[in-house]
Structure 1
């Protein structure tokens, strides 16, 4: 499905990003992985036969340098970008009145501005491919309105809105832009989530039980393929039917 397609995955050192990269590799993609965690990123890349480049989504120059390095690794053509990198831990369980301004700003800087700047850096190479695909990682928390998670929910709501707008801007160049909105996955990034919230998802979904990363990664793989252009602008809640969009 993805043979001969070069795909960039951010936040790929561990967790869901590494799971996404593993699935993309299994479908034949050539991968370029990015993350702030260099040791783990190199290890994941080695395991998958991928390239790894460090990137800090909070720093515009780091993102620009990442894009330049990718141009050097390729012929200036990239077929896919999976915007998985984000701050998701250490910011939950806090009422909105108690969120520290610096924490709020950091979440928006990484999750929103970082996503925008990454797309801006990669857009010329995606256009050059003639079949570019961008898959943004949103969250179903921004669809159903999860409480006590305001900075994260706001950031992922922005990602959903950017997906729709960018689909119209990039569509004329045959670049498709979609988003997936997972629920709570069984990865290390969700270990902090209270048992009550896990139970809410597991018991309240159309398909009961815990959600494994593979339920998300195969969808990301399809959305990165040439056949997914017709879905551009769509947000897919990949959460076993916990919430419908």
Structure 2
């Protein structure tokens, strides 16, 4: 489904980003993988026969440099904004969040997603069938407590998805968003067992959700077939949250 399509996946060194990269590779995509973890993303790229790039979503110059490097290499058909700050940002009430933590989460998760999309937009437009997939979280759909900085950032990503879909739609660039629940990855190891159990017992499917359970949806959304879904936020969470 993705043969001949060049896809950039951020946050690809581990966890969900790596699983998404693997799903896209299995469908024949030509991959560019980016992460702040240079060694990790290089290992993923070598395993998948992809190109590795280092990027810091908190640094606008780093993002701009990646966009320029991509432009020198040819067309870009898809961008999957998976990179985000998720580890050790929760567990405290909204009154106890430090300003530095709040600002860092918004800088990386919100501003970084915007700047990465902006850097790639000319290439996505030029491809004639560009796709952007933003990775949010279903915490912004049900209002997870003691996780406000992260939840707010992912709610912003959902809102950006809808506005970007309007702005990029005339150029046949589709923009969608997936909102996973708690996954069994490195980034959720710090989450209390009670919260994991809440998801597993409360979802329609039941049981834990792996990164691989989500990755196939992301791979479909960067395909040419997904344009009519533009602007949609899809809770890919085993049926823990339904939206209408």
Task: Give the secondary structure class of the aligned counterpart of 2:31.
Answer: strand
Deviations 1:80-132 (A, max 9, x none): 00000000001110100000000100000000000000000000000001000
Other-structure match for 1:66: 66
Other-structure match for 1:219: 217
Other-structure match for 1:4: 4
Shift in Å, 1:15: 1.0
Other-structure match for 1:23: 23
Other-structure match for 2:132: 134
In 2, Cα distance between equivalents of 1:18 and 1:131: 24
Other-structure match for 2:48: 48
In 2, Cα distance between equivalents of 1:100 and 1:123: 34
In 1, Cα distance between equivalents of 2:211 and 2:107: 26
Moved over 6 A (4+): none
Task: Give the secondary structure class of the aligned counterpart of 1:19.
Answer: helix
1:111 equivalenced with 2:106 (yes/no): no
Other-structure match for 2:151: 153
TM-score (norm. length: structure 1): 0.98
Structure 2 runs not aligned, ≥5 long: none
In 2, Cα distance between equivalents of 1:190 and 1:90: 9
Tell me how many residue pairs correspond in the alignment. Answer: 243
Shift in Å, 1:213: 1.3
In 2, Cα distance between equivalents of 1:107 and 1:116: 14
Counterparts of 1:190-209 in structure 2, within 5 Å, are: 190-209=188-207
Other-structure match for 1:37: 37
Structure 1 runs not aligned, ≥5 long: none
Please provide the CA RMSD for this pair.
0.5
Task: Give the secondary structure class of the aligned counterpart of 1:125.
Answer: helix
Shift in Å, 1:9: 0.4
Deviations 1:124-158 (A, max 9, x none): 00000100000000000000000000000000000
Shift in Å, 1:215: 1.6
Which moved further from structure 2: 172-181 or 207-216? 207-216
Other-structure match for 1:186: 184
